[in-house]
Structure 1
Amino acid sequence: MLCNRFLKSFRTLYLNDHNRFNAIRTISLSNALKREVEDRKEMYKSLPVQDEGTTGEKAIDIDALIQHKEDVFPTIDTPNKLFKGVPYQHLPIFHIRVSSNNTILSLTDYKGAPQLIRSCGMEGFKNTRKGTNIAAQATAISIGAKAIERGVRTVRVRVKGLGPGRMSAIKGLQMSGLEIISITDNTPVSWNPPRPRKARKL
């Protein structure tokens, strides 16, 4: 009798403790899941928005923006045309090298001698952040400010490569206060690319 009574009381205590433990465990798991969802939401908020650089640059209505179309395209006299007292061919050049992983900006004089160089990695962006449009814009603003300190006001821009930082770097140079006279795209196009891999045998 005593033994049965003891077993019954032990069983009820065990079941009560077990149920209490399961309830606590489910509450803690639900709290952990809520925290994980909130952390993920915060992470998504901190990520940059999809860039329009390579997925399709915004189309510009040239006719609406330009009244004097004949002044836009280069002519024979363009190299000698003056911009704030400096001939076009003697203007300093900003080279923007863009890839999917990084954006490198360098300022050279008209002969090609380097004066300033800056990349997203040097600016403090790490890993995948280096390839974002925000990193390219921040780098362009900082190097543009340094160029203005050196007395450079009007520049030509040459862009090379494909990646998220193409348009953002140019926007950053404009935001820093530089006047961009011309934008040249020097992206190499291979007309004889390497052949694709051999098809896998199944």
Structure 2
Amino acid sequence: MLRSIVARTVWNSRAPCLGASRRWGEGGGGAQWTPAAARAAAAATARPLHGAALLRKAEDRKEMLASMPARDEGTEGEAAVDVDANLRGFGGMFPDENTPDLLIDGVRFADLPILHVKISKNNTVMSLTNAKGDVQMYRTCGIEGFKNTRKGTNIAAQATAISLATRALDRGVKNVRVKVRGLGPGRMSAVKGVTMGGLNVVSITDCTPIIWNNSPRPRKAKKL
């Protein structure tokens, strides 16, 4: 009984596709459809349902490949770059054993004055020293007239650097080595201000200390 119901349901669902006008139990001339006849007719005239989709997909891919340009520059990848060759091409940009004896306007690199820039979140301190470390000039954002929270801004650091650079030029200093220490808003503005003031920055050294281990414990949580 169950098999007969399944066969009848299958035939009724496939009858419109087969173009048949007769349903189960209908017929002219006394011809009756049996489940075996229904299965045979369905197997003879059935087509795979996914064949058209696969064919359409293949046609779409052919159309896509035909419409693509002959050379797709975006999918070829990047060429391999030799890092060591690039570093050698900069020629003296990185220090080596001959850097201290390098002449800058007739003066050895090791004998150039040094501009120490100490940057914090609250202030920017600049001091110009000779090669031995003797302080010749000292400027801060507070000395330039910035007060309270304005001392820690990048504008204050740039103005302080310009002021120190103009004073250094009056004393005959043209080339300096810059050593930056600390993290703060005026880190890049201070170096830019030195060049805007007229000094020639020969080298920039980052002397910010890094704690690799035994870092200080965090502050105790505030109790409400």
Runs of at least 4 residues of structure 1 off by over 3 A?
Answer: 197-202
Give the 5 Å matches for 1:149-160: 149-160=170-181
**TM superposition shift of 1:130:** 0.2
Which residue identity does 2:196 align to in structure 1? Answer: M
Mapped partners of 2:99, 2:220: distance in 1? 50
Mapped partners of 2:222, 2:208: distance in 1? 32
Give the 5 Å matches for 1:18-167: 68-167=89-188
Sequence identity (%)? 60
**TM superposition shift of 1:68:** 3.9
Mapped partners of 2:129, 2:222: distance in 1? 48
For residues 2-43 of structure 1, the C-alpha deviation after alignment (integer angstroms, 9 at most, x for no partner) is xxxxxxxxxxxxxxxxxxxxxxxxxxxxxxxxxxxxxxxxxx
SS at match of 1:156: strand
Which residue identity does 1:105 align to in structure 2? Answer: M
Unaligned runs of 5+ residues in structure 1 are 1-65
Q: What is the TM-score when the length of structure 1 is the normalising length? A: 0.64
**TM superposition shift of 1:201:** 9.1
Q: Which has the larger radius of gyration?
A: 2
CA change 1:200–1:117 in 2 (3 A) is closer
SS at match of 2:127: strand
SS at match of 1:71: coil
For residues 66-112 of structure 1, the C-alpha deviation after alignment (integer angstroms, 9 at most, x for no partner) is 99413201111100000000000000000000000000010000000
Which residue identity does 1:175 align to in structure 2? Answer: M
> Does 2:201 align with 1:195?
no
For residues 53-77 of structure 1, the C-alpha deviation after alignment (integer angstroms, 9 at most, x for no partner) is xxxxxxxxxxxxx994132011111
- Structure showing the higher helix proportion among its residues: 1
Mapped partners of 2:134, 2:171: distance in 1? 15
Q: Alignment length, in residue pairs?
A: 137
Q: CA RMSD in A?
A: 1.9
Unaligned runs of 5+ residues in structure 2 are 1-86
Mapped partners of 1:143, 1:200: distance in 2? 42
